[in-house]
Amino acid sequence: MSGTFVGMPAFPTAARAALGDTQLRRNLAHATQTIRDKRALVVAEVEDWEDLRLAGAGVKEAALRDLATHLETLEASLTRAGATVHWARDAAEACAIVASITHAHGADEVAKVKSMATAEIGLNEALEAEGIAAWETDLAELIVQLGDDLPSHILVPAIHRNRAEIREIFQRRMGDVGKAAPADLSDEPAVLAGAAREHLREKFLRAKVAVSGANFAVADTGTLVVVESEGNGRMCLTLPEVLVSVVGIEKVVATWADLDPMLRLLPRSSTGERMNPYTSTWSGVSPGDGPQEVHVVLLDNGRTRALADDVGRQALRCIRCSACLNVCPVYERVGGHAYGSVYPGPIGAILNPLLNGVSDEQTASLPYASSLCGACFEVCPVRIDIPSVLVDQRAAVVDSHRNDRVPSAEALAMKATAWAFSDSRRLAWAERASGIAGRVITRFSRTTLPGGRAASGRLPGPAAGWTGARDLPAPPAESFREWWDRTDGGQR
């Protein structure tokens, strides 16, 4: 029904392909510029934004540091409010729980509210294998689903599509799965939104089972919170008889009052609005109002792994606002698909390795998908120091290769450097060799750096990977020691 990230190449390969797609780069540059401007305006309106960030980070950090207690409190409050609580160690367990609830009600379809947790566990594909159709109802998710595409942004999964492409997807595919798009569909955003309204309405009205995530789960009251724009969330949370919410264990906040900084931080950081059009909160079952059977699946799927990482733990504070994606120069150029995960951009570059470890090449490439410029940390509403976590994850990647039988070129170079630097005679010899190399490069090189210094282009052999994207300045012909000897420390 939709694509899969499984088997994606490592970031550098995927990024190179994405960089060649000029349409993608234009769409992304336009969209991220729009959202950056909007965010900047509404953030500037809040005089004490930095203090609000500190409060938001504090609320989430406090919840994480006593997570077991809060999870038990949440479970008790939810149960008291009439909800059924399930626990899932991994994606397969969570998907199986949702499928069995759906089967128990004899349903062969579910209506879905956009949720990162259900995207992460591949719920749609798992349900499809069980004969259950999962209808995405968020406009961008619908565009991705109908286009057999992959999400490329946390907030706007179809950010890589422009209006003309969306019109084409709607016209080609809507009729296959429900109400067809009108024949005279234009590419006006309002008209496209109207077509989505028509297409999805029959699905909302007949859905028996809905699946959601939650932006926050309040431990002391058993309240779940869904923040949205279109009203598809309200439809799914209100009309069906049965509601299943898949909630990552890191979504917990301790108290109802803790929602205050979060609900002020999230919409301004995310869509650049003072408040998003709709926020729904519910605590279990409300007699005579909304679903009368409410399930909550508390999901681990790597979160306890991340929680054990002293530097990386802060990534679990993330409220999925996507501000870090929108300001990231790397994301803006390569787009979300190159990250090979439902979590792209700066947060994806740390969250994927933290949740899954760095044993596969694709995930291990992610901590390097950054120039460490720090823009992500500056905008993050919960002050996740993404650059520090990136550096720490790079160390984790290097550590994971310590016992490799064939050492990497980088490891060999580092070893050789250590050997040369630890003895002054060896160092003097190495510098002389470098000076000769420098004179050779200067004579033959066709690359000149700003300032006129010669540089090597792409070097052959093991250094090719490093020099493929960088110019290596030619070493100076005379080393510092040679200069010192010749001039007696600058006296002559």
Which residues in 311-330 contact another protein (CB under 8 A)? 313
314 near ligand SF4, judged by CB under 6 A: no
Q: How far is the CB of 207 from another protein (least distance, A)?
A: 9
Q: In this complex, which beta carbon is closest to another protein, that of residue 279 or of residue 362? A: 279
Q: How far is the CB of 348 from ligand SF4 (least distance, A)?
A: 9
Q: How far is the CB of 440 from ligand SF4 (least distance, A)?
A: 46
322 near ligand SF4, judged by CB under 6 A: yes
Binding mask of the shown chain, residues 148 to 167, with x at each position contacting another protein by CB under 8 A: --------x-xx--xx--x-
Which residues in 125-184 contact ligand SF4 (CB under 6 A)? 154
For residue 252, which of 94, 77, 388, 111 has the smallest C-alpha distance?
77
Which residues in 90-119 contact ligand SF4 (CB under 6 A)? none
Q: In this complex, which beta carbon is closest to another protein, that of residue 140 or of residue 454? A: 140
Q: Region of 214 please: left (phi>0), alpha (psi -120 to 50) or beta.
A: beta
Q: In this complex, which beta carbon is closest to another protein, that of residue 38 or of residue 333? A: 38
Residue 270 token pair: 């995310």
Measured CA to CA, the distance from residue 392 to residue 68 in angstroms comes to 26
Which residues in 200-239 contact another protein (CB under 8 A)? 200-201, 204-205, 218, 221, 223, 229-232, 234-235, 237-239
Binding residue (CB under 8 A) for another protein from 190, 406, 418, 469: 190
Q: How far is the CB of 13 from another protein (least distance, A)?
A: 28
Which residues in 330-369 contact another protein (CB under 8 A)? none
Binding residue (CB under 6 A) for ligand SF4 from 140, 254, 319, 375: 319
Q: In this complex, which beta carbon is closest to another protein, that of residue 40 or of residue 54? A: 54
Q: In this complex, which beta carbon is closest to ligand SF4, that of residue 134 or of residue 390? A: 390
Selected range binding ligand SF4 among 110-118, 288-296, 374-382, 388-396, rule: CB under 6 A:
374-382
For residue 14, which of 314, 365, 465 has the smallest C-alpha distance?
365
Q: How far is the CB of 429 from ligand SF4 (least distance, A)?
A: 48
Binding residue (CB under 8 A) for another protein from 17, 193, 433, 436: 193
Q: How far is the CB of 152 from another protein (least distance, A)?
A: 12
Sign of the Cα torsion 185, 231, 117, 204 reads negative
274 near another protein, judged by CB under 8 A: yes
260 binds, among ligand SF4, another protein, none (CB under 5 to 8 A by kind): another protein
Q: How far is the CB of 54 from another protein (least distance, A)?
A: 5
**Cα–Cα distances in angstroms (integers) from residue 301 to residues 62, 291, 305, 355, 362, in the given order:** 21, 27, 9, 7, 18
Q: How far is the CB of 346 from ligand SF4 (least distance, A)?
A: 6
Binding residue (CB under 8 A) for another protein from 3, 9, 12, 58: 58
What phi and psi, each to the nearest 5 degrees, are found at residue 164? -65, -40
93 near another protein, judged by CB under 8 A: yes
Which residues in 253-312 contact ligand SF4 (CB under 6 A)? 269
Q: In this complex, which beta carbon is closest to ligand SF4, that of residue 240 or of residue 348? A: 348
Q: In this complex, which beta carbon is closest to ligand SF4, that of residue 392 or of residue 431? A: 392
Binding mask of the shown chain, residues 28 to 47, with x at each position contacting another protein by CB under 8 A: --xxx-xx--x-------xx
Residue ranges in contact with ligand SF4 by CB under 6 A: 154, 269, 318-324, 347, 379-382, 384
